Structure 1
Amino acid sequence: MDFSRRHFLALATAAAANFDSIPVFAQDATTLDQVKARKQLRIGVTSAEPWFFKDPLSEKWTGIGVAMGEKLAANLGVEMVPVETTWANAVAALQANQIDLMFVLDPTDERRKAIDFPDAPLFYYAMGALVPENGPFASWTTIDKPGTRIGVTLGTSLDKNVTAMAKSAAISRFSNNDEAIAAFAAKRVDVVVQFHPALVVQYARLKLGKVILPEPVTPVATSAGLRKEQSTAFRDWVNTQFAELYKAGVPNQLFATYLKSKNIDATGIPGLIKEAW
């Protein structure tokens, strides 16, 4: 009986010590409060260059989204922590408080019903297409023909856009960008639609087909998703950060740095600041 009591007390003491080391948040604690208390800014990451790339050997994440997350974390004096997810699951991960931000998430009307977005854009890109070198594709009209097979990444705004646009072509959906490109290489799809920065990186690695910006070319503003909450403190802070970084041309700098890390010449490639296109 004495042994059981001593054993119980030892377990209780250990549990109390562990509990003290875990941040405890009030129900009304804002995301900004939680990030500061946790000393961590958790960003969602998924396989999608140039936004997110996981080195298969070191398992370290890099990319424009990761670099942006590091900048925001540094400005808050906290650590940036990558949390693996998918584009399709990112909204649910935010709602479940598994991540604090998901970069390069377009603020569609459907997503706005479930999560929040800052007003200032993160940066801009355009819908591009990876097509066969001698293919008959130059515009969205020539792509949307019977018999054309289009590959897109499931759960992205491109998935929604292509679904609305394509009336005659067949659409195949893949869990990430790499799978869509692999399908193109295997000739299981004729066209892969992704935003132009992602296609530039994919083409440089694949050296197959060509990247085009089908007419009409329309700049698309992307952003970062965050949880809906009564307080606007975190959203306002992120909004200010995005506006300042965009004005300073930081998205273009991060894009050029990432392309250089992949031995890709950024000369002539449209960047992420639409005013410079």
Structure 2
Amino acid sequence: MVSRRMMGSAAGLAVAMAAASAAPAVAQGAPGESTFERIRRTKKLRSAAVPGGAPYYHKDLASGQWRGFYIDLLKMLAEELECELELTETTWGNAVLDLQSNKIDIFFGLNPTPKRALVVDFSVPCFSNAFSFLVKRGFQPKTWDELNRPEVKIAVDTGSSQDQVVTRLLPKATVSRFKSADEATMAVQSGRADAQCLVLILAMAAAKKIPSLGGVAVPTPIFATTSNAGFRREADKTWRDYVNTWIEFNKGLGAVRSAIVTNMELVGISEADFPPGVTL
């Protein structure tokens, strides 16, 4: 025999289970909800930053606060959207995976490559950045041909655009791949590698930080890439199109360039430090 008390308990349990199962759905958003719709609904903008990526990204170890010109752009974007900015840590190599897995909504600082374009979308360029090399003292290659030799030991961070460029342009060189850009830099510092491939701004920042190294080499011909924002690929392109409009508008106002130049001062470099013939 089923009592009223048992029926009431069963009904209460059913309601509790229904509420519990519904909670994750509310947190994740309705089925088919686009990134732009979720941002507008939750008032939260999710992105990621790379420790040791100054002047792009720099984390103050004492305060835990992030700085850098992409941090400034993210803050400006969040303010425009009237959103709270939420940051997690990542690496240059893992940023695409973070986008694909819906961990973040946007990542600034991706170089568009054909391989990446298979799985994520890109914004319009924020600025141009030449591929260069942080070199050990006494090693000053002037051309890519000088680097493309078996005796030349090159360090790169796995999965980065530098990794792809070295694989494509320096097939004869001896390449060592590391988990992070910092580990690749340490390989040059310790003499295990002759040079580390980096985009110019990061190479200049590292050279300022470690004056015992041989500085920065920009081999000719100069190959440059653009620095863009990346997005998870989805059918609704509203989020990408909005960010494109936002970037172009703020480039026109000079706000993007101002953020870049101001934050280069974090690592002691200025536009006057750029090699001849190389600009942002």
TM-score by length of 2: 0.86
Cα distance in 1 for residues equivalent to 2:38 and 2:46:
11
Change (3 A) 1:251 1:189: farther
How far the C-alpha of 1:59 sits from its partner, in A, is: 2.2
Give 1:98's aligned residue.
103
**Could you tell me whether the CA contact under 8 Å between 1:123 and 1:246 is conserved in 2?**
no
Per the TM alignment, residue 267 of structure 1 is displaced from its structure 2 partner at its CA by 4.3
Q: Do the aligned partners of residues 216 and 63 (structure 1) sit closer, same or farther apart at CA in structure 2, a change above 3 Å counting?
A: same
Match of 2:80 in 1: 75
Is 1:247 the counterpart of 2:252 in the alignment? yes
Amino acid at match of 2:65: K
Q: 1:107-126 alignment to 2 at 5 Å? A: 107-118=112-123, 120-126=124-130
User: Which runs of structure 2 are paired with 1:34-49 in the superposition (5 Å)?
Assistant: 34-47=38-51, 48-49=53-54
1:71-128 residue CA offsets vs partner (Å, 9 max, x unmatched): 111111101111222233222221221100111112212212211122x212111001
Q: What is the aligned partner in structure 1 of residue 177 from structure 2? A: 173
Determine whether 1:58 maps to 2:58. Answer: no
Deviation at 1:246, TM superposition (A): 2.4
Partner of 1:116: helix, strand, or coil?
strand
For 1:199, what is the secondary structure of its paired residue?
helix
Distance 2:172 2:39 in 1: 47
Q: Distance in 2 between matches of 1:257 and 1:74?
A: 19
Distance 1:141 1:63, change over 3 A: same
Encode CA deviations 1:123-152: one digit per residue, 9 max, x unaligned.
Answer: 111001111332241121112222111011
1:117–1:224 contact (8 Å) kept in structure 2: yes
Report which stretch shifted further, 183-192 or 107-116. 107-116
Which residue in the other structure is 2:261 paired with? 256
Matched ranges for 1:185-264 at <5 A: 185-207=189-211, 208-262=213-267, 264=268
Corresponding residue for 1:33?
A: 37
Where does structure 1 lack aligned partners over 5 or more consecutive residues? none
Residue 272 of structure 2 aligns to which amino acid in structure 1? G
The answer on 1:88 being equivalent to 2:93 is yes
Q: Which moved more, 1:136-145 or 1:22-31?
A: 22-31
Q: Is the 8 A contact 2:55 2:266 kept in 1?
A: no
Would the aligned equivalents of 2:134 and 2:196 in 1 still touch at CA under 8 Å? yes
Contact 1:145/1:169, CA 8 A, preserved across alignment: yes
Cα distance change of structure 1 residues 267 and 27 upon mapping to structure 2, 3 Å threshold? same
Alignment CA distance shift 1:97-1:20 (3 Å)? closer
The alpha-carbon distance between structure 1 residues 19 and 27, as it changes in their structure 2 partners (threshold 3 A), is closer
Query: How many residues align structurally?
Result: 271
Separation in 2, partners of 1:139, 1:244: 37
Q: Is residue 128–residue 194 contact of structure 1 (8 Å, CA) maintained in 2?
A: yes
- % of aligned pairs identical? 29
Shift of 1:190: 0.5
SS at match of 1:261: helix
Q: TM-score, normalised by structure 1?
A: 0.87
> Structure 2: which 5+ runs fail to align?
none
Q: Tell me, in whole angstroms, the C-alpha distance in 2 between the residues paired with 1:27 and 1:231.
A: 13
